[in-house]
Structure 1
Amino acid sequence: MEQPVKNMRVAVYPGSFDPVTNGHLDIIHRAAKVFDKLIVAVLNNTSKNPLFTLEERMELLRQSTKDLTNIEVDGFRDLLVNYMKQRQVHVIVRGLRAVSDFEYELQMASTNRKLSDEVETFFMTSTPQYSYLSSSIVREIAKFHGPVSELVSPEVEEALRTKFPSPPNKI
């Protein structure tokens, strides 16, 4: 893992990204303008049964952000604050879609701050066109072969088609 350069403004944008949506990509692109380096950290949450493996999610993120030069995609399996200490980064980026997100995210930010007083959370509100969008909604639409092209990158759309192939036509 690459270490941040002293005096760089570096942040971590953590998530499960199962799969990465256009809402995630919106936050990534906007945060990449604010920070010199943005580490998109993919959580391997052992309490969940993800559609995509950690490696697949990381690769989809790399493909979907290939136009950004200051993005690093990494994975982690530990507490976020432990990962932050390991990477020597002190800022977490979190996206907010609605007031209900804020309540949960405030609780998480407070907990992270309690675990490490060096960690700050930087909240970014979702662009209105993505305020409803979640990975679980995308998975559900894709599972039933609905259109997802306006919700995810072309790379993710193709990966979803592979995971949920169209059933053969019945005669």
Structure 2
Amino acid sequence: MIVYPGTFDPITKGHMELIARAAAQFQEVVVLVMENPAKNCLFTVEERIEMIDHAISGFPNVRVTSGSGLAVQAVQQLGATMMLRGLRSAADFALEETLARNNAHLAPQVETIWMLANAETAFISSSAVKEVLYCGGKIDGYVDAHVKAKLLEKNAHQRI
């Protein structure tokens, strides 16, 4: 089992590209929606889980759950020894390298596995999706239709 932790606010085509590749390589993939009080999330944990559940419906070996606290501790609580992280750029690597070293210190039995985003999705982030939508841009290339509908629904009620 490999666990892919993140806030997924919302899940993007970039996230899904990594999930699809992980699902092809690992017997079981767990998408772990993290509660992070430091981030001002647009969607609740339950809403994020619902969107991910919809997005992963075609992957029989992928499931979604939630966690809080440190991601590496949540991974351990699931009984996993591998954590998936995506890299879009060198800047991501600099941050993720530090996180992986810290996680290795906290939980030496949990290995961090990195996957590089492909060129078609490397520019996508959840923050960019919300920014583009707020500024009136088209987000079809960033998220699937279900997530787009949820974003538009939220945008009608509050500023992104």
Counterpart of 2:43 in structure 1 is 52
| Structure 1 residue 72: Cα displacement | 1.0
- Structure 1 ranges of 4+ moved more than 4 A: none
Counterpart of 1:124 in structure 2 is 115
Deviation per CA, 1:63-109, whole angstroms, max 9, x where unpaired? Answer: 01111001110100121222122111000001100011001001111
Counterpart of 1:96 in structure 2 is 87
Counterpart of 1:136 in structure 2 is 127
Q: C-alpha distance in 2, partners of 1:129/1:86?
A: 34
Counterpart of 1:4 in structure 2 is none
Counterpart of 2:16 in structure 1 is 25
Q: Does 1:105 align with 2:105?
A: no
Q: C-alpha distance in 1, partners of 2:60/2:70?
A: 27
Greater C-alpha Rg:
1
Q: Give TM-score scaled by structure 1 length.
A: 0.89
2:56–2:63 contact (8 Å) kept in structure 1: no
| Structure 1 residue 144: Cα displacement | 2.7
Deviation per CA, 1:40-74, whole angstroms, max 9, x where unpaired? Answer: 00111011110011100111001011110011101
3-state secondary structure, aligned to 1:18: coil
The amino acid of 2:75's aligned partner reads: M
Q: C-alpha distance in 2, partners of 1:153/1:61?
A: 11
Identity %: 36
2:10–2:48 contact (8 Å) kept in structure 1: yes
Counterpart of 2:56 in structure 1 is 65
Runs of 5+ in structure 1 lacking a partner? 1-9, 167-171
3-state secondary structure, aligned to 2:97: helix
